[in-house]
């Protein structure tokens, strides 16, 4: 079987992963193995603040020139921060890929963080923190993680605190970047219609001169998941419910089975068990969904629902019942096959979007030396058995392992 992806590693340790698609549009990005969990104390929020400030000036460009470099030719430039990664990415015509890669290198290795621009960006991030605090459907996820991983860096809010944001200086931002933004902790991910040998030459031209330095990822002790049940009275118009537990980490052999379990329970399809039980059958909410978020040494599983205050207890009971059913009733072979086919179809549709594929393979390459092709992932899913799915569900959905956070 021919490889779906092509790989190359520069002499300085920077990795390249490429997927060829016959399109005029190319999707490119740089994944960096640093996120909010790599911060402590007064540095909390720095990864996110740097992500915002990368576009504010380099030794070669002012802020306007950075923003105009890609947008000026009809492309889009953006970035995001997670608990364990930072990503800078762009969408452009294939002919403009060189300017995307050159700009990535410029902002990742030559950012100067001009004081005047940083002052303005402080207010932007502080306003983001303020607005986020007004959204209970978003805030509840952060508080769940704070309670579940109390005392561990993984519990920290990605945005940080307003106090910290006000104290970040250009010198501290540059120091954080110099320590963490090193080629061996980076992956360039590209999806589009370009010769791979040409892509490698471009990456060598724009990134090859940057030396690597010792900056191994050391995230310390594995976080301990702490079970809890908490109700926070916020005088909201509806009850926001988050029910969850610890889940397999990204390297765990149970990850594939748990990913399928998550999709059966609360995936995007209208026939998910939670949607049918809580929304379609009883009309308790507009939407109910589950999420599985694997990290490098642990994982989280959530079920979220926003329901009428009077329906809060009944909705919680229905959700608990679906978890108990998943952990006690073995899927029939027909039910498993239906779930497998559905999930494989959803993955194919999701990966048909070039931006989604670029991010998916970039993150995978950051964590593994090999990125599974769609055929390999499909085979892993189809090889699951009813007994294996039941075992994994039982290992995670024990009643005393389920935590609950309610805003009402």
By annotation, the residues acting in catalysis are 51
**In residues, how long is the chain?**
408
Q: Rounded to whole angstroms, how far apart are CA atoms 139 and 304? A: 12
Concatenated DSSP letters of 260-275 = HHHHHHH-SSTT-HHI
Q: Rounded to whole angstroms, how far apart are CA atoms 56 and 113? A: 6
- The DSSP secondary-structure symbol of 296 reads S
Task: Name the token pair of 8.
Answer: 């190359």
Task: Name the token pair of 62.
Answer: 């002012």
Distance of CA 101 to the CA centre of its chain: 22
Task: Name the token pair of 76.
Answer: 């889009």
Q: Under DSSP, is residue 118 helix (H, G, I), strand (E, B) or coil?
A: helix
Q: Are 290 and 262 in contact (CB under 8 A)?
A: yes
Sequence-distant (6+) residues with CB within 8 A of 69 are 61, 77, 99, 103
> Exposed, middle or buried by CB within 10 Å (0-12, 13-18, 19+), for 33?
buried
Q: Considering only CA atoms, which of 201, 186, 207, 213 is closest in space to residue 103? A: 207
């Amino acid at each position: 079987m021919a490889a779906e992806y092509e790989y190359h590693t520069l002499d300085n340790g920077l990795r390249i992963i490429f997927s060829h698609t016959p399109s005029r549009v190319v999707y490119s990005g740089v994944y960096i193995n640093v996120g909010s969990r790599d911060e402590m104390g007064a540095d909390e929020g720095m990864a996110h603040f740097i992500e915002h400030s990368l576009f504010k000036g380099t030794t070669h460009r002012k802020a306007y020139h950075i923003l105009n470099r890609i947008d000026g030719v009809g492309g889009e430039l953006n970035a995001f921060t997670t608990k364990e990664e930072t990503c800078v990415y762009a969408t452009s015509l294939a002919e403009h890929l060189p300017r995307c890669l050159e700009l990535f290198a410029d902002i990742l290795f030559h950012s100067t963080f001009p004081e005047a621009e940083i002052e303005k960006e402080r207010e932007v991030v502080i306003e983001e923190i303020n607005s986020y605090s007004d959204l209970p459907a978003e805030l509840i996820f952060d508080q769940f993680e704070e309670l579940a991983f109390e005392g561990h860096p993984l519990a920290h809010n990605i945005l940080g605190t307003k106090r910290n944001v006000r104290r970040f200086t250009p010198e501290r931002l540059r120091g954080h970047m110099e320590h963490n933004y090193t080629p061996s902790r980076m992956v360039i991910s590209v999806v589009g219609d370009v010769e791979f040998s040409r892509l490698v030459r471009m990456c060598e031209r724009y990134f090859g001169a940057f030396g690597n330095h010792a900056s191994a990822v050391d995230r310390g002790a594995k976080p301990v998941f702490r079970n809890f049940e908490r109700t926070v009275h916020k005088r909201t118009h509806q009850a926001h419910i988050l029910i969850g537990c610890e889940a397999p980490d990204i390297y765990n052999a149970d990850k594939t089975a748990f990913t399928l379990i998550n999709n059966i329970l609360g995936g995007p399809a209208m026939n998910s068990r939670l949607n049918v039980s809580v929304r379609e059958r009883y009309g308790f909410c507009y939407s109910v969904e589950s999420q599985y978020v694997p990290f490098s040494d642990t994982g989280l599983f959530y079920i979220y629902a926003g329901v009428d205050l009077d329906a809060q207890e009944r909705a919680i009971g229905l959700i608990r019942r679906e978890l108990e059913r998943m952990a006690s009733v073995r899927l029939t072979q027909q039910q498993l096959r239906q779930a497998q086919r559905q999930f494989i179809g959803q993955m194919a549709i999701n990966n048909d979007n070039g931006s989604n594929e670029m991010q998916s393979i970039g993150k995978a390459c950051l964590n593994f030396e090999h990125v599974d092709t769609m055929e390999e992932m499909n085979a892993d899913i189809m090889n699951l058995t009813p007994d294996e799915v039941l075992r994994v569900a039982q290992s995670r959905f024990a009643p005393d392992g389920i935590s609950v956070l309610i805003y009402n």
